[in-house]
Amino acid sequence: MTEAEINSLKESGKGKDTYNQPDFYNIDDLLSDEHKMVRDSVRSYVKRELSPIIEECAQQNYFPSHIVKQLGEVGCFGPQIPAEYGGGGLDYISYGLAMQELERCDSGIRSTASVQGSLVMYPIHKFGSEEQKRKFLPKLGSGEMLGCFGLTEPDHGSNPNGMTTHFTEDGDSIILNGAKMWISNAPEADVAIVWAKNPDGIVQGVIVERGMEGFTTPTTHGKWSLRASITGELVFDNVRIPKSNILPKVTGLKGPLTCLNSARYGISWGALGAAMDCYESARKYASERHQFGRPIGGFQLQQKKLAEMLTEITKAQLVCWRLGNLMNNGKATPAQISMAKRNNVEIAMNIAREARQMHGGMGITGEYPIMRHMMNLESVVTYEGTHDIHLLILGMEITGENAFT
């Protein structure tokens, strides 16, 4: 899309997005003024810059790369990372609310921010050297640089431990070989956090930079989901990387899994955002659309749908809020995060499907956001641990039995 097209969409879409979140249990009373300010800021930004263009971006399978800088300016990259390293210096509820507002617009936009904040900035901040932090974090925080996270491989998705991407040592360098697949942001990324096995077969994190010889990032085509986000591969063909690019403070799968915890936490808020957007659209449509001489919202079947949607949204809001407090106190367990991610994505998918039916034929068009959310959520239920995998994590937590292998 050209700048002129984007500007004309922004002009014609001005003021049309009137979204406000449902809050049946006055959960806002549990938020601080600062939390609400965070939410308002991201929402205002979304309404001004993203809502007018998102549908067209998704229709055209276009990643609006101009928004990377904007997301940085608003502070959507790592709001929970300390300010001295380019983050926002806020808490986990603020981070969750920011992800919720972005995904209320589109899961693809939220994905870009989740990856940058939780999967790129977070590991550099948590496991990186002081030098790595100073070099990369401020630029990632401001959106001057875009990052991606390479864990999944063509033959190893749910089982990352089986990864074959590996490196050998050569003096002050390492030589990296292998390939990663399904990597969000990859084709436009300036840096990649790549998880690979060292000569002893132990997983380590490596910062791979655009321009290193033998490193390419082909785009994945033909997606029906997250069409406003860009996905690709990371291919390493004897890439020589200075040893100083290895993340020094973590070894083993714990590294990537810790990052995923932070991102999954954000997704549990994000998916709820998508759910609330579908609900709000359905609620409005039900009062505007007349059949048989009355608004369809007057029929019991439609009321049942809306009542059940609002019930699930309210439960999920409480789960997010509680989990956010556990995160703030450093007490959230991976299994608790799995439950929230799994539940909230599932209810979002169900709500999207019900909301789509409530919109009748209109529901399949881009006039309404429903079908886009519905298709996006198919990725969200798969990445960052599939629905099944989170069930197994919970199963193991409950019974102590490992049902993975």
Ligand X SMILES: Cc1cc2nc3c(=O)[nH]c(=O)nc-3n(C[C@H](O)[C@H](O)[C@H](O)COP(=O)(O)OP(=O)(O)OC[C@H]3O[C@@H](n4cnc5c(N)ncnc54)[C@H](O)[C@@H]3O)c2cc1C
Least gap, CB of 297 to ligand X (angstroms): 35
Q: CA dihedral in degrees (266, 107, 272, 344; nearest 10)?
A: -80
Among 9, 31, 68, 74, binds another protein (CB under 8 A): 74
According to DSSP, residue 227 is labeled: T
Closer by beta carbon to ligand X, 261 or else 281: 261
Question: Residues 38 to 57: which contact another protein by CB under 8 A?
Answer: 38, 41, 44-45, 48
Closer by beta carbon to ligand X, 186 or else 282: 186
CB 219 within 8 A of CB 187: yes
384 in active site: yes
- Taking the C-alpha atoms of residue 210 and residue 216, their distance in angstroms, rounded to an integer, is 8
Least gap, CB of 102 to another protein (angstroms): 13
Residues recorded for the chain: 405
Token pair recorded at residue 87: 């983050």
- Nearest Cα residue to 213 out of 163, 170, 166, 177: 177
Closer by beta carbon to ligand X, 165 or else 281: 165
Least gap, CB of 192 to ligand X (angstroms): 10
Least gap, CB of 74 to another protein (angstroms): 5
Among 76, 113, 121, 151, binds ligand X (CB under 6 A): 151
Closer by beta carbon to another protein, 38 or else 124: 38
- Taking the C-alpha atoms of residue 378 and residue 227, their distance in angstroms, rounded to an integer, is 12
The residue range among 89-97, 243-251, 376-384, 387-395 that interacts with another protein, by the rule CB under 8 A, is 89-97
Closer by beta carbon to ligand X, 115 or else 320: 115
- Taking the C-alpha atoms of residue 249 and residue 399, their distance in angstroms, rounded to an integer, is 32
Catalytically annotated residue among 130, 384, 397, 401:
384
Which of ligand X, another protein, none sits in contact with 311, Cβ below 5 to 8 A by type?
A: none
- Under the binding rule (CB under 8 A), the answer on residue 355 touching another protein is no
- Taking the C-alpha atoms of residue 81 and residue 116, their distance in angstroms, rounded to an integer, is 11
Closer by beta carbon to ligand X, 243 or else 387: 387
Among 7, 8, 24, 34, binds another protein (CB under 8 A): 34
Question: Residues 90 to 109: which contact another protein by CB under 8 A?
Answer: 90, 94, 98
- Taking the C-alpha atoms of residue 207 and residue 147, their distance in angstroms, rounded to an integer, is 10
Among 9, 58, 76, 140, binds another protein (CB under 8 A): 76
Question: Residues 208 to 227: which contact ligand X by CB under 6 A?
Answer: 226
Token pair recorded at residue 16: 């049309």
- Under the binding rule (CB under 6 A), the answer on residue 115 touching ligand X is yes
What φ, ψ does residue 105 adopt, rounded to 5°?
-80, -55
* Long-range interactions of 131-140: CB distance < 8 A, separation 24+: 131/244, 132/207, 132/244, 132/245, 132/247, 133/85, 136/191, 136/207, 137/78, 137/81, 137/85, 137/86, 137/87, 138/85, 138/86, 139/86, 140/77, 140/78, 140/86, 140/116, 140/191
- Under the binding rule (CB under 8 A), the answer on residue 10 touching another protein is no
- Identity of residue 228: A
Which of ligand X, another protein, none sits in contact with 231, Cβ below 5 to 8 A by type?
A: ligand X
Least gap, CB of 373 to another protein (angstroms): 24
- Under the binding rule (CB under 6 A), the answer on residue 389 touching ligand X is yes
- Nearest Cα residue to 81 out of 127, 126, 148: 126
According to DSSP, residue 121 is labeled: I
Closer by beta carbon to ligand X, 184 or else 262: 184
The residue range among 21-29, 33-41, 317-325, 375-383 that interacts with ligand X, by the rule CB under 6 A, is 375-383
- Taking the C-alpha atoms of residue 235 and residue 159, their distance in angstroms, rounded to an integer, is 19
Query: DSSP letters of 277-342?
Result: HHHHHHHHHHHH-EETTEEGGGSHHHHHHHHHHHHHHHHHHHHHHHHHHHHHTT---HHHHHHHHH
Q: Which residues bind another protein (CB under 8 A)?
A: 33-34, 36-38, 41, 44-45, 48, 73-76, 79, 83, 87-90, 94, 98
Q: Which residues bind ligand X (CB under 6 A)?
A: 115, 148-152, 157-158, 182-184, 226, 231, 379, 382-384, 386, 388-389, 392, 404
* Residues classed as catalytic: 384
